[in-house]
Structure formats: C-alpha cells, structure tokens
Amino acid sequence: MLEARSVSLSYGATQALRDVSLRVEPGASVALMGASGSGKSSLLHCLAGVIVPDEGSVLIDGVHLTDLSDRERSRLRLERMGVVFQFGDLVPELTLVENVMLPLQLLGRRSGQARQRAVELLGRLGIADLADSRTGAVSGGQAQRAAVARAMLHEPSIVLADEPTGALDSINGEAVLDALVELTSSAGTALLVITHDNVVASHLDTLVTMHDGAILAGASR
Amino acid sequence: MRATAMYPLSVYILCIVRSMGTSEALLALLEPVPAHGYTLKREYDRWFGRKRPLAFGQVYSTLARLERKGFVIQNQVEAGQGPERRVYEITPDGVTTLDTWVATPQTPDLFATSSLYARLTVALLSGRDAHHVLARQREVHLERMRELQMLRRGASGPDLLAVTYELIHLDADLRWIEQSGARLAKTEGEIDARG
C-alpha cells in the first residue's frame, strides 16, 4: 500500500506541494491528473522517495520513507517499487529479457530463475518471441510492454507510471494499459499513473486531480 | 422550407434524423437477403439497436415508407403455422440510396444540440455556478468512460466499434470541458462586459 500523509514541499520560495494526502490500496489503481506545474511530478518524486518532503510523510506498506537513510530508501525502492516511464528507458545494449531481468539481478536472485520468470512475463504480455531482441529492433509499443514486465517482475507492492503511454499510438497505448492494469490488479499491486489523458485515466479505479500543488476537493471518484 | 423550420429542433433530431438512420439500416439488412419484419427487428436490435431496440410498429411504418418511395417491394407472403408474413426485398433504387447514404459524410453540426453547451451558456448568462456545471459533467463523463473501458475489454466486432466510438467522443467532450473550464473566468468577464 502507498500512502502520502499531509505532504508539503517547497523549492525555495515556490511551494510545490501543499498538504497533500493520498492513499492507494493493494490492487487498486489511481490516475493522477493536473495541468503542467500543478505538482504531479513533485508528488511522484516524494512517493518514490527520491525527494524527502519538508512536512508530512510517505509510507510504503506501513514503512515511513522519511525515517530511512538514502541507502535504505534505495533498497526499499528496488524491492517494493516498479517504475514505468514515458519512453520505457530500457538499456539499449541489452535484450528485452535482459532488461526485464535487471531488478531481480540487482536484488541478487539467481540468473536462471530470473530469466525463466522474465520470459513467462513477456509471454503474458504477448512478446515472448521478442525476448532475445535488442530494444532497437522492436516497436515503441513492444518496448513499453517490456518496461511493464520489468516493473512487475520482482512483484513490487507499488508501481509508479509517469505517462506510460504518452509516446504510443492509441491502439498500442490501450494494450500497454490493459496489461499494466491486469498485471497489477491480479498481483495485488498498488498502481499510480500520472497522465494528461482522460482515456488513460478511465482505465483506472480512481481519479485524483491536482491544482497549484494541492489535490482538488471533490475531484476523486 | 427546411425541415428544422417545420418542427421543434428536439422533434427533428429525435424523430426525423433517427428515423432516417432506421430506414437505411433496414435497407442494409435487406440488401443481402429478403426478410420479414420480425427478422428485420431482431437483426436491427442486434447490430444497431444497442440502447434503443426498435419497436415493431416502427419497423412496419418504416417499411411502408420505403415501399412508397420504391426502395423495397413485397415479393411474397410467407405462410406458416401463424399468420401470413410479408417478405420484403430491396430494389435497385434502394441499393442506390444505401450507397449514397453510406458514402455521404455526416453533417458535423450535432454539437449544436448538446444540452451541456446549453446548460453552460444558461449558467453563464444567469450567474449560476458554471464551474459546478462543468465539474459535475466531467465526473459523469469519466464514470461512463470507465464503464466503457470495462465493456471494451470483453468486446469485439461491431460492439468494439460502438464502444470505442463512444469513448473517443466522450474524450473529445472532456477536452472541451477542460478547455472551457480554464477559460471560464475570461468568458464570464466577456459576458458581463456585454451586459
């Protein structure tokens, strides 16, 4: 479970987040929307433990990120978080399956097991036949599915996705979102997606809208 | 005289525009094979009816109108255990009409009938809370889009076409709602300035 409690953050004189509280239950999904500069990215950075808020706290599975050292936060991110970015951000020197295996390898799991699970997951996403292709040889939609697999392979508690379909056409975007929602809800993973796209938001359980660093009252459903 | 000048707009849209679609849909169903009214009603509901199944009375009144125009003929009476049933067949003129209808783009002016546009305008003119009008509609639109996403995951063929058609139109509405919301203060100011 992911939770922000009364989080506030300033960059110098600019207040980026104002008393933001948010909760994503296991298996639930939330769309975070808002205009540019509304505070979405700042909130994402706080939720990911990349930035420590000035006030308030962020909890992952009940653990206060704000109580942890940098090293402990990094370890917790690796173990319990999956991240999907707009452009996938796969390592171009590696094949799709090697990219997907990375989190488990960084966690010290055995390579054979990691590969087997990575191939299974790529199969669920319909791209098992591309497991040994390099990222440059696959389409944007296929690369983004691999990014979803990479985010889910280590069975994280939460997945944070920043415009995960922003670089895709609508058909490929739909397939990637369907896969992301299906995988996270069936695994009991909390999913938070930042998006500007109402169609993307409509895939998810709840919508939260931000404006001027705060969550708009009555904007959740 | 234009048809809209003879009828209130709502009557024109609900009765005339919709019945035009019904006529062409029935012609399309008759094109591959002659059929009687019951079959046409069943097939219409399957392919076109979705939220508005066709009433039997409308099937026969539409067929009668198509027959008067020479677009269909009754070519036989099908006898069975029940009452005799008339079987209808499309004519070459009917096929031409269908060709023209399918190939002619829809007039893109249906937005003018949107009650949302009208409600927002009334709110602005009367000093009511226009933000609330937009926010409430946004919630309702998003809720419907969420329902459609669930339907889409199990849909295929014409059902998938219908679901995605509605989804994308709702998305366009939402973009208009968001843009209008962002401009609301300016719009209110312009209305005040005009008195």
CA atoms within 13 A on the CB side of B124: 22
Q: What are phi and psi of B118, to 5 degrees?
A: -65, -45
- Strands (E) across chain B are located at 35-36, 72-78, 85-90
- The answer to whether the CB atoms of A221 and B174 lie below 8 A apart is no
In a domain, A136, yes or no: yes
Range of the domain at A23: 2-215
Taking the Cβ of residue A136 and every Cβ of chain B, the question of whether any pair is shorter than 8 Å is answered with: no
In a domain, A221, yes or no: no
What is the average pLDDT score of chain B? Answer: 81
Q: Which residues of B touch A218 (CB under 8 A)?
A: 135
In a domain, A169, yes or no: yes
Residue from B133, B171, B176 to probe the interface with A (highest A Cβ count within 10 Å): B171
Asked whether the CA dihedral A34, A35, A41, A46 is positive or negative, the reply is negative
Residue B135, pLDDT score: 87
Distance CA(A96)–CA(A138), nearest Å, equals: 9
Residue B18, pLDDT score: 46
Residues A178-192: tens digit of each pLDDT:
999 999 999 999 999
From the list A43, A20, A29, A74, the residue with the least C-alpha distance to A189 is: A29
- The answer to whether the CB atoms of A198 and B145 lie below 8 A apart is yes
What is the average pLDDT score of chain A? Answer: 91
Distance from the Cα of B134 to chain A's closest Cα (Å) equals: 12
Residue B19, pLDDT score: 44
Tokens of A214: 């705060």
In a domain, A187, yes or no: yes
In a domain, A97, yes or no: yes
Residue A221, pLDDT score: 47
Q: Which residues of A touch B148 (CB under 8 A)?
A: 202
Distance CA(A52)–CA(A54), nearest Å, equals: 7
Distance CA(A145)–CA(B23), nearest Å, equals: 45
Residue B27 has pLDDT above 60, yes or no: yes
Given pLDDT bands bounded at 50, 70 and 90, which one contains residue B10?
very low
Tokens of A26: 């296991």
Taking the Cβ of residue A178 and every Cβ of chain B, the question of whether any pair is shorter than 8 Å is answered with: yes
Residue B5, pLDDT score: 42
The CATH number of residue A197's host domain is 3.40.50.300
In a domain, A173, yes or no: yes
Taking the Cβ of residue A199 and every Cβ of chain B, the question of whether any pair is shorter than 8 Å is answered with: yes
Residue of B nearest to A170 (CA): B168
Residue B17 has pLDDT above 50, yes or no: no
Residue identified by tokens 């005289």 is B1
Put simply, whether the predicted model's pTM sits higher than 0.80 gets the answer no
- The answer to whether the CB atoms of A199 and B145 lie below 8 A apart is yes
Given pLDDT bands bounded at 50, 70 and 90, which one contains residue A107?
confident
- The answer to whether the CB atoms of B171 and A198 lie below 8 A apart is yes
What separation in angstroms does the CA of A53 have from each of A6, A67, A187? Answer: 10, 12, 29
Given pLDDT bands bounded at 50, 70 and 90, which one contains residue A121?
very high
The total domain count for chain A is 1
Using alpha carbons only, what angle is made at residue B66 by residues B60 and B71, rounded to the nearest 5 degrees? Answer: 140
In a domain, A119, yes or no: yes
CA atoms within 13 A on the CB side of A65: 31
